[in-house]
Amino acid sequence: MDFSKLLTDPINEIGILLTNLLAGLGLAPGAIAVVQAIIGVVVIATFCLLLPLFLIWFERRIVARMQDRVGPNRVGWQGLLQTIADAIKLLIKEDITPIGADVLVYNAAPILSVIAVIAMWAVIPFAHNMYGVDLNVGVLYIAAVGSLGTLAIMMGGWSSNNKYALLGAFRTAAQLVSYEAPMILSMLVPVILAGTMSMTGIVNAQSQVWFIFSAPIAAALFFITSVAEVGRTPFDLLEAESEIVAGFHIEYTGMKFGMFFVAEFLHAFTVGSLTAVLFLGGWSGPFSDASPLAGVFWFMLKSFLGYFIVILMRATLPRLRIDHMLDLCWKFFTPLALASIIVTMLVDKSLTTLLPNADAWARGGILFLANVLLGWATVSLLAASARKMRLAEEGGATGAGHDAPGDGHDEHAPMDAHAPAHASQAPAH
Amino acid sequence: MVPLYWYLILAAALFCAGLYGVLARKNAVAILMGIELMLNAVNINLVAFWRYLNPAVMAGQMFAVIVFAVAAAETAVGLALIISIYRRRNTVVAEEIDLMKW
Amino acid sequence: MTALQIIFLLTAAVTFGSALLVVTSHNLVHAALSLVVTLFGVAVLFALLDAGFLAVVQVTLYIGAIAIMIIFAIMLTRRVMMDSGPQTNTQWWAGALVALALFVALSWVLMQVPSLQALSAPGATLPTLSGDSVKALGLAFVDPNQYVIPFEVASVMLLVAFVGAIVVAGESKK
């Protein structure tokens, strides 16, 4: 084994070592390939399952600081072992299955929920030669396995034999299926700019200008709609304890609830890492071409930045009501995503024909200006319609003497003042 | 290499399972599920022939994509009709929706 | 038996088994979940046939949208007594007979075609798949000499279905 190559190409070197080992044991080459594939799958899945141990601690400490308290700091140094203590607590809880529950579906729902999130990590590249598989339809694959998570939640809500869980599952399915539309549309913008649906291809296309600079509206849209797909605040109506008795996972106790919980946190981090790959340049940064370990470092840094913003949104924003949330999706995000795709397409194609020799920064700059124009047009449209509604209200108020209920004219204003979700969800179950 | 007729026989088996579902089930949603099985069998057939005969011509995959779109549209309209019928007649059993029979 | 053939046989067994569960299951929600397994098996078959884009679109569209619609419809149209009582109508034996006869006829006809036998001979090889089929498929969608008209007509049809479904299933405005 070549130690100098271990720094530049670790996966390949370990692969060669394993191949020699297994061939020495006398396995056929086909079987060796199968064993290596299985080992790769196990490594990625283990990494994904061990990551929430750190993510949950990270989130609880940061939300606590934002709420002017300390957060868990007793168990282990600075509270790092708190999540392990919570996991042990969940494991030793009594495993109750409600009467009349559909046992097979009831047990399969949390497993499918975790599977849907771990399967996303198969295509996410950690460095230029460290990834699970380089599908040439990677972006669409992410959307596909994301929709498996919706199915898991509906299965969970249905099989609990509880009408509140069923109502929660219906709302969840409505929200998740609705927000898939603007999410997939905004994922198309980096695909258009990079010319390929492969994740490594998109990262390579950002070698000079990151797509967050060329397509800020699409980046913001993708981030917000992915947070809605996960079901985090401000879209966490589905599972908050004050709403419809905790929604679809009311009847789940112990480790099954723990699996839903782990799936949600891992999905939130996956949102951060997808934003990093699609818009922030993935693993690129200083020294990342020389050593893939530096690439992994930059990738994790950017993913944690995205995750930090998700936590920030959770700690500060109040919850949206279900009808406001769906209005926001269909009446604001989807038209904006479509407009963003059309603007990006037109500007990109005209740049290719009119200015074929423009360098990457010029193209990025012109796309940025086009996005700024689109944002200005959106804001002025919103302001005009808000003014119209306000004038209609005041006209009605002076005429009839009662204030008309303003509903949804400015999508960001009418949020119900629910208490922001508190940090510790784990001890409640 | 997997022989082509394995794919075709699997597609035929799926089609006949779907056909049995359509002919023999009472619940209208179960009939729709049988129709979905038949459409999937057709898709397998199309893509298998595309791969084994002439993968350079995109007609096979194109036809399969159009079948996807048609299946989605037909399921949406069919389920809307079933829900509407359920609201008025309070039944989804196909035999009981017989107001227009002579 | 090459590895590919073993994978195909496993996938085919799972797909066909869950298809049988779909059409014979007493509990409708179990039937819908077996339909999801069948659709996933079909996606794996598409991946085996080197149609990766179709496999991913199958999962997104069928499982992520159509199967969820079907599950919604089942849950919204339940009456408590639905699952007790026979799920098949009185002529189920005729349906089974027709399906079986059709399967036998199709298999027999397929085995008779000589060019298919040539393709299925043990030494035959698949035609080479050149380049990126996703890009070729994308070009086929918008090329005026290829399939742009069916593509546009399909989008109009989806719009019509969308509007029609909302009108039919929407609450009547009193």
Is the per-residue pLDDT at A405 higher than 60? no
**pLDDT tops 80 at residue A3:** no
Mean pLDDT of A128-138: 85
Quick check: A270 and A236 in contact, CB under 8 A?
no
Q: Answer whether A105 sits within 8 Å of C29, measured CB to CB.
A: yes
Mean pLDDT of A246-262: 82
What is the model's pLDDT at position A94?
85
Q: What is the pLDDT of residue C83?
A: 58
Decide if pLDDT at A425 tops 60. no
Q: What is the pLDDT of residue A168?
A: 81
The class (CATH top level) of C1-83 is: mainly alpha
Give the tokens for residue A14: 């370990």
Determine the pLDDT at residue A243: 59
pLDDT tens sequence across B11-57: 999 999 999 999 998 888 999 999 999 999 999 999 998 888 888 88
Task: Give the C-alpha separation, A223 to A306, whole Å.
Answer: 9
Among the partner-chain residues C33, C57, C65, the one whose CB lies closest to the CB of A140 is: C57
Nearest CA in chain B to C37: B37
pLDDT level of residue A246 (50, 70, 90 thresholds): low
> Among residues A414, A422, A239, A168, which one has the least CA distance to residue A314?
A422
B with A: touching (≥3 Cβ pairs within 8 Å): no
Q: Which residues, 6 or more positions from A35, have their beta carbon under 8 angstroms from its beta carbon?
A: A18, A22, A27
Q: Answer yes or no: do A155 and C64 touch at CB < 8 A.
A: no
Which of A135, A136, A140 comes nearest C60 by C-beta? A140
Percent of chain B whose predicted confidence (pLDDT) is above 70: 100
3-state helix, strand, coil in chain B (%, to 5): 80, 5, 20
Higher pLDDT, A144 or A7: A144
Alpha helices in chain C (DSSP H): 3-24, 28-48, 52-58, 67-76, 92-112, 114-119, 133-142, 148-169
**pLDDT higher than threshold 70 for residue A427:** no
Interfacial C residues in 29-88 facing A (CB < 8 Å): 29-30, 33, 36, 52-53, 56-57, 59-60, 63-65, 67-68, 71-72, 75
Q: What is the mean pLDDT of residues A37-49?
A: 90
Position A172 scores a pLDDT of 83
Write out pLDDT tens, residues C108-153. 988 887 777 666 666 566 777 766 778 888 888 888 888 899 999 9
Residues B62-75, mean pLDDT to the nearest whole number: 93
Give the residue carrying structure tokens 């350079």. Answer: B56
Cβ distance B10 to C15 less than 8 Å, yes or no, reads yes
For residue A166, give the chain C residue with the closest CA. Answer: C75
Task: Tell whether B97 lies on the interface with C, counting CB pairs under 8 A.
Answer: no
Is A178 a residue whose pLDDT tops 70?
yes
More confident residue, A218 or A11: A218
**Chain A residues with CB-CB distance to C30 below 8 A:** 102, 105
pLDDT < 70 regions, chain C: 1, 79-85, 117-125, 130-131, 172-174
Supply angle C-alpha C61, A154, A412, rounded to 5. 80
No. of helices (H) and no. of strands (E), chain B: 3, 0
Structure tokens given for A90: 């969940």
**3-class DSSP state of A102:** coil
In percent, the amount of chain A with pLDDT more than 70 equals 87
Tell me the domain boundaries of chain C.
Answer: 1-83
Confidence band of A426 (pLDDT split at 50, 70, 90): very low
Instruction: Please name which of A69, A199, A196, A42 lies closest in space to residue A126, comparing C-alpha atoms.
Output: A199
Average of per-residue pLDDT across A52-66: 91
Check whether A301 has a pLDDT greater than 90.
yes
**CA-to-CA separations, C171 to B83, B91, C164, in angstroms, rounded:** 11, 18, 13
Q: Give the mean model confidence (pLDDT) for residues A264-291.
A: 88
pLDDT higher than 50, residue A202: yes
Contact across the interface for C134 and A143, Cβ inside 8 Å? no
For the cut 50, the answer to whether the pLDDT of residue A410 exceeds it is no
A165 vs A214, residue with greater confidence: A214
* Mean pLDDT of all residues in A394-404: 60
Q: Which residues 4-63 on chain B approach chain C with CB closer than 8 angstroms?
A: 4-10, 12-27, 29-30, 32-34, 36-37, 40, 43-44, 47-48, 50-56, 58-59, 61-62
Report pLDDT digits (tens) over A327-365. 999 999 999 999 999 999 999 888 888 877 777 888 888
Rounded Cα–Cα distance for residues A111 and A128 (Å): 31
